[in-house]
Structure 1
Amino acid sequence: MATAATRSSSSNSEVIVLGIESTAHTFGVGASRWTSAGPELLKDARRNYVPKQGGILPREVAQFFSQVAAEVVEEALSVNSLTPRDLDAIAVALGPGMGPQLRVGATVARAMAAALKVPLVPVNHAVAHLEVARYTTGLRDPVILYVSGGNTAVTTFVEGRYRVFGETLDMALGNLLDTFAREVKLGPPYVVNGNHVVDACAEGGEFIGWFPYVVKGQDVSYSGLLTAALRALRRGAKLKDVCYTLREVAFSAAVEVTERCLAHTGKRDVVLTGGVAANRVLNSKLDSMARLHGGTYRGVPAYYSGDNGAMISLAGLLAHLSGVHVEPERAFINQRWRLDEVEVPWYGKLL
């Protein structure tokens, strides 16, 4: 997917890259700039699709994206006082994600790159979450827990790319919380005032006994936990107790596999990123774990925890300066593009 470098990564001239995100329920556009001082995140614009009930239907979301794409691009340029002529490259998330939504972002990015005659940069959505976390936390070589609606993985950089040291064997942590909330009629929306509705429901709850805690090696499994929680409710358990137990078991499993990666790699810094990264309870658990190992913990700022175009622009800027480009006609989406398939030549050099 990469072509030969067209710009030296040692250049001190200003470079601006626009990034487009459309992998799930957010159409986001952001910009990043390279100066002699290094990378800089600029402002972004985003629109979120919120279903009236149930989960999201990809075709409906894609239609929504098509309707708002132009205004989001225009807003992202306007808030940064940019014009299309100021852009040195266009970056786009080509995966992983949902096909119909990915196609909208890819189509917009291909059209802009071709019209402006600038390079098109392919970005892995998961890697973008990792890069914006490293940039915003200042922890440059951490173990990273990446948790979102569609992803749960423990990763760190080793020999040229991010390696997965543990992941979910079935459903992602964010999907577990959202699915449970939907089944018991707590949502949508699933996040209110920065808190997940399961967290709000868990206030004052008590641990109610055995729920399956599944850690296999360095991987986790959550599908049995969901089944057990729903079964407990049918047997008459209090909803707040089920929410509390579900959350505690799920988060503890994620923290354990993160701790195992920390011990295995000998690293000390821990970072949390992804859509679930704004969760205060999960942040607190990871902070306590890192302190036990004499390490430092930081979570990505809440503003950048969810999907956004800013993180795509940042990863795109770093990739662009490293010569990673794709011809517009070959910018194919990849719904199952794993983060450990991506070469990361800028690690330790540009960021």
Structure 2
Amino acid sequence: MRIIVTGGAGFIGSALIRYLMKNTEHQVLNIDKLTYASSLFSLDSIKNNPNYYFKQVDICDKQVFDVINEFRPDLIMNLAAESHVDRSIDSAAPFIQTNIVGTFNLLEASRHYFATLSAEQKKSFRFHHISTDEVYGDLEGTTDLFTEETAYYPSSPYAASKASSDHLVRAWYRTYQLPIIITNCSNNYGYYQFPEKLIPLMVLNALEGKPLPIYGGGHQVRDWLFVDDHVEALYKVATEGKTGETYNIGGHNEVKNIDVVKQICVLMDELAPKDYPHEQLITYVKDRPGHDNRYAIDANKIARDLNWKPKETFATGLIKTVKWYLDNLEWCESISNGQYNRERLGQITSIQQQLK
């Protein structure tokens, strides 16, 4: 099978590509704009795999039409997105452009490509759109869980842009019969996550003795999903899920933000001890606007229909994650300054590692 992964140099996208290279014989084309949060370093372990290809492309660019027609995929997995809520509050425009306009452009390119396929090829083609539980809004004051039927009620510009993209994908299924699948996931964590996100930020700040900033009282609840579990679920949905369906993917790990940070502090006391407990570094800061209090996924559908459940508990996934960041400070520095991307792009150009 030939697979296009958009945003494949990002956190979840790179984990997905590493999974595909390790566990399948599929040919995979990674198309990525290489924004601040993307790192080709995250794909260093598979860069020479003969089934892996990379092309620097913005999903908003019309070049996407040519790339899809040239590679002729059986499956497109759209993970390209702006995803940081704080950044969306500061400036919503990039989120509107990438998450809405970019998804529209991909859908149109996919629709035109789909029309060129034979009847038999059309049966196996799929467009898999990867989204977030944040489109559902806030579960504050209830013990309910987000199901696939939960109405959308996004709070942040980021969540609203992802909700918009989900609606576009469903419309292209209904109107144009483009075979689509949507997945909505809970908070991911794990290896190669950009250091502005909660867990890597706390690990790296704690290591340097910097403050550990917590919004409000830190009582916001999130369902935490280890990224390796997530990408296994994505592949299962993409290959076994039913066209036109939505599948929620969750980790069954509801934890308050303050408790996440305190658990990190305990691990840092053990793995990188200082002459004081790391919990002393916790600092409470003004809450951000529109901050949702609780997200929680009901993942019964994917468990029932596709026999998928997460393998990692939050405790087992967190210790793996903290240890990884402590052992990979070079990666953290490289993604912060973008140097590796520049060097690697030069190598790709020189050896002409483009589409075959």
Give the structure-1-normalised TM-score.
0.31
* TM-score, normalised by the number of residues in structure 2: 0.30
The answer to which structure has the higher helix fraction is 2
Higher RCO (Cα < 8 Å, 6 or more apart): 1
